[in-house]
Structure 1
Amino acid sequence: MARVRVLPESARSPGRRETESALSLADRMPHLVLESRRVAANLAHGIHGRRRAGTGETFWQFRPFVAGEAAQRVDWRRSARDDRLYVREREWETAQTVWFWIDRSASMGYVSELAQAPKIERAIVLGLALADTFVEAGERVGMLGLMPPRATRRIAETMAQTLVTDRFSLEEDLPPQAPVAPQHEAVLISDFLSPLHDVTAMVEGISSRGARGHLVMIVDPVEETFPFQGQAVLHDLEDGLSLRIGDAVSWGRAYRLRIEEHREALQQLARRRGWTLTIHRTDRPASEAALRIMTLVSTARGTGPGGR
């Protein structure tokens, strides 16, 4: 029977090891994404193919003036350097800000000997790695209720420091009711073991203004299989309750059925709101979930192949 344990509150904040693991994963992400996109031939620049001419404010490049264009588009200072007329192009900046939320409540401290890492460590590594990858691709990243959108190249360290100094979120298993602008995206990383009506209210609150979202469900393998026998004591890590049961095998059958029903309801919720649901087991590499999420984000923006 697999041994399980629960990490203390002090272990539910990112330390040097989690931050370094996230940056290491982020370093590998471009290669993983490129390998995936090579099949679909849809990736041109970075993760989302953002860098192209558009209506933004950031200078991108000069290009030769084309007959028929409005004369006010000519950059006369640049054109004065030689005998050609040039237009100052700006970078297309309609790619959305990405908002993250990482569940650090008590249930995320659960870990069995079958897992590669505790749920909270995997959630933090995934969140920081994805944020680093988004920023590298030219996106802005914020944290719901904690940090405004930023595009710093030290985004992983900045987010880690924000989490370390935030103690309130250690008691919350769902994100705050923070406004998310239309066309922005939310990446929510949790075990989503909260009551379905609470998760539904949260998703509908974020998506009501037109924001897209991605639910990343972190699962320990023991939470899926419930491999216990005989008498057992079940502990509610959020409320501190305990329940002694006499036949763990019978409980296991009922438990697995309820877990399946809960996940199906989450999948229907995500599909109904145009969101995605990713289920990631902690006995699998973090890179698998990271690549899938990047694929789903690109697909949601119409820049990549579909995936479930």
Structure 2
Amino acid sequence: MSDPLVLRQGAEALAGPFPPLLAEAEHLATTVLLGEHGRRRPGQGDNFWQFRPAMPFDETRSIDWRRSGRADGAFVREREWQIAQSIILWIDQAASMSFGSLKDGTTKGQRARLLGLATAVLLIRGGERVGLTGLRLPPRAGESQLARMAALLSEQDEVDYGTPEATGMLPHSRAMFVSDFMGDMEPVEAALTKAADRGVRGAMVQVLDPQEEGFPFDGRTIFESMSGGIRHETLKAGDLRDRYLERLAERKDRLRMLASTTGWQFLTHHTGDSAASALLWIYGALERRN
């Protein structure tokens, strides 16, 4: 049997990041002031939407007689169409996401996890079902799902670059991929094509560090991947700047075109920018019906 003290210390160390991450995500979610999560079309639901003139096919019981009494004709009281949707998230947890140059220590991975979990907070509290791709966490509703997500998102993969996974996406549902998208593009294209074939629409959020956008390097520089598996040394880093920025721009254009082709939305977000503005964009992108 394991030593109970050692087991408890290990458990506390493992669970340590979860409450702060969830608390930060909940705080971020509250900064995005949103109303009720109803779908603005008639159907089954609890919230009033509008009155409309009664039609010949309407049943007598559907007529609102109080409203009709204030007019010459009969009116039907319609409610908002509210039905839980399934949203699947893929948050890149590869080694490349642990890079960060900001003084406050924010890394790409931290921002990606924060945006992913804050999005889940908004959606779940709006009555949606949220899960993680790759069958890691099937979509479910309820506050307990947020704790499960926080636990899984606090892990880190050992590979240099993440590969999006489309497994577990239900037909005609929604999804979100959050990554730096600095690795091989073929798996990204394959995942979005597979999603589009199932009628899945969603959002891609590319998270980059300011240094990755500005390339402020000159002279002798050693470039090394976060896992240490890739290494390049140069005496004239400044000479690489234009080529690097050109390739980065090409990658963004490719991602943007891929999103457009598959009916998704695309955003590049920098860790030095407001997380709240990115969350607001994400929420709007996932709400947009294509």
Residue 22 (structure 2) aligns with: 19
Q: TM-score, normalised by structure 2?
A: 0.77
1:197 alignment partner in structure 2:
186
Q: Secondary structure at the match of 2:32?
A: helix
* Deviation digits for residues 219-242 of structure 1 (CA, Å, limit 9, x no counterpart): 000001110110101113357121
After superposition, the C-alpha distances for 1:247-275 in whole angstroms (9 at most, x for unaligned) are 11111111111000010011000011111
Compared CA separation, residues 262 and 115, structure 1 to 2 (3 A): farther
2:173 to 178, 184, 192: 184
Report the secondary structure of 2:138's partner residue.
Answer: strand
Structure 1 residue 153, shift from structure 2 partner = 2.8
Closer, same or farther: CA 71–242 of 1 in aligned 2, 3 Å = same
Residues 235-244 or 101-110, more deviating: 235-244
| Aligned amino acid, residue 289 of structure 1 | A
2:151 maps to which residue?
A: 161
Contact preservation (8 Å) 2:99, 2:107: yes
Question: Are 1:147 and 2:132 matched, yes or no?
Answer: no
The amino acid across from 1:22 in the alignment is: A
Give the AA of the match of 2:272.
Answer: D
Q: Which residue does 1:60 correspond to in 2?
A: 46
1:282 aligned residue (271, 283, 290): 271
What is the Cα deviation at residue 15 of structure 1?
Answer: 3.5
Q: Classify 1:278/1:140 alpha carbon distance in 2 versus 1 (closer, same or farther; 3 Å).
A: same
Unpaired runs of 5+ residues, structure 2, are 1-12, 49-53, 63-77
Residues 52-96 of structure 1: per-residue CA shift (max 9 Å, x gap): 7625xxx7389xxx89655899xxxxxxxxxxxxxxx99734453
What are the ranges of 5 or more consecutive residues in structure 1 without an aligned counterpart?
Answer: 1-9, 34-44, 74-88, 303-308
Give the match's secondary structure for 1:278.
Answer: strand
What is the aligned length? 259
TM-score (norm 1): 0.73
- Change beyond 3 A, Cα 1:175–1:70: same
1:237 is matched with 226
CA contact under 8 A between 1:219 and 1:281: conserved in structure 2? yes
- Matched residues in 2 for 1:223 and 1:61: separation? 47
Deviation at 1:196, TM superposition (A): 2.0
Structure 1 residues 203 and 170: alpha-carbon distance in aligned structure 2, compared to 1, 3 A threshold: farther
Counterpart of 2:66? none
Larger relative contact order, structure 1 or 2 (CA cutoff 8 Å, min sep 6):
1
Aligned mates of 2:99, 2:140 — CA distance in 1: 31
For the pair 1:173 / 2:162, whether they are aligned, the reply is yes
What is the distance in 2 between the residues matched to 1:271 and 1:245?
Answer: 37
Residue 289 of structure 2 is matched in structure 1 by 301
How far apart in 2 are the matches of 1:202 and 1:289?
23
**One-letter amino acid of the counterpart of residue 100, structure 2:** V
Structure 1 counterpart SS, 2:224? strand
Is 1:252 matched with 2:255? Answer: no
CA deviation digits over 1:22-52, x for unaligned, max 9?
A: 111012222xx4xxxxxxxxxxx52x43387
Shift of 1:113: 2.9
Moved over 4 A (4+): 66-73
Aligned-CA RMSD value: 3.2
Superposed counterparts of 1:59-138, under 5 Å: 60=46, 69-70=58-59, 92-94=81-83, 96-113=85-102, 117-138=106-127
